[in-house]
Amino acid sequence: MVVKGNFCNFRHPLGRVLLRGVRSGLGAVILLSGCATHIDHGKSVVRSEAPSYATPRHGAAYNRAYRVKGRTYYPLASAKGYRERGTASWYGEESGNRTAMGTRFNPHGLSAAHRTLPLPTRVRVTNLSNRRSIVLVVNDRGPFVGGRLIDLSHGAAKALRLSGLGRVEVEALD
C-alpha cells in the first residue's frame, strides 16, 4: 500500500495524529523525569528527587493570608528552623485536582499539604511509631480538620507505612 501526502503538515489528519503522539510522549517524559526516588533501607529514609522547586515566592497568591471555614491562616515568611510534632493524615481521592500552587496533585507522589508553611517547602517527615522518614515537598494547603498537622499524599503515607492517622515530626529543610 502506498500512502501519499505530507504527514509533517499538521493540517493533514495523519499529521495531527503524529503531533498528538509527540506531545503525549514529551509530556510523559517530562512528568516521569521528576519521579525518581531513592530509598535507603539502612536508614529508613525515602528521598524524592521530583520536587526540585525554587525557593518560596513570598508575593505569590498561595503564600498570602487565606480564609477557610471562617478561619484566617497566615503562611510563615520563612520555614527556617520549623520543627513540629503532631498528627498526620493522608489524602488521595483528589487525583488530578490542582494544588494551591497550581500543579496537578499526584496521589502516588511524595507531597504534602500544610496550613502555614511557605509553598513550596522541602520537609523531612518522620513517622514516630517506626522512625521511617521521607523528604518531600509541601505544595498544597490543608488539612483543615482540627488536630491535624499535615496531610500526606497517599504515596508519602505508604512510604512512611502510615495507615489512617499517625504521629509524625515535620522538620523544614530549606
Phi, psi of 135 (to 5 degrees): -110, 125
* Whether 98 contacts 111, CB under 8 Å: no
pLDDT at residue 96, rounded to an integer:
72
On whether both 41 and 27 belong to a single domain, the answer is no
* Residues 158 and 134 occupy one common structural domain: yes
**How many separate domains does the chain show?**
2
Range of the domain at 46: 37-172
CA dist 46 and 130 (Å) reads 14
Q: Look at strands 133-140 and 148-153 and give their pairing.
A: unpaired
Tell me what pLDDT residue 59 has. 73
pLDDT digits (tens, 9 = 90+) for 29-50: 444 444 434 444 444 454 444 4
Distance of alpha carbon 93 from alpha carbon 110, whole angstroms: 15
Would you call 112 helix, strand, or coil by DSSP?
Answer: strand
pLDDT, tens only, 91-110:
887 767 899 999 999 999 99
pLDDT digits (tens, 9 = 90+) for 127-162: 999 999 999 999 999 999 999 999 999 999 999 999
- As a whole number of angstroms, the distance between CA 156 and CA 77 comes to 25
**Which band of pLDDT confidence, cut at 50, 70 and 90, is reported for residue 122?**
very high
pLDDT of residue 130: 98
> At 130, which CATH number?
2.40.40.10
* Domain match, 6 and 55 both: no
Residues in the chain: 174
The residues near 135 (Cβ < 8 Å, ≥ 6 apart) are 45, 46, 47, 48, 110, 122, 123, 124, 173
In sequence order, which residues have a C-beta less than 8 Å from that of residue 1 and are 6 or more positions away? none
Same domain, 42 and 82: yes
Q: 82 and 153 in one domain? A: yes
| 65 and 90, same domain (yes or no) | yes
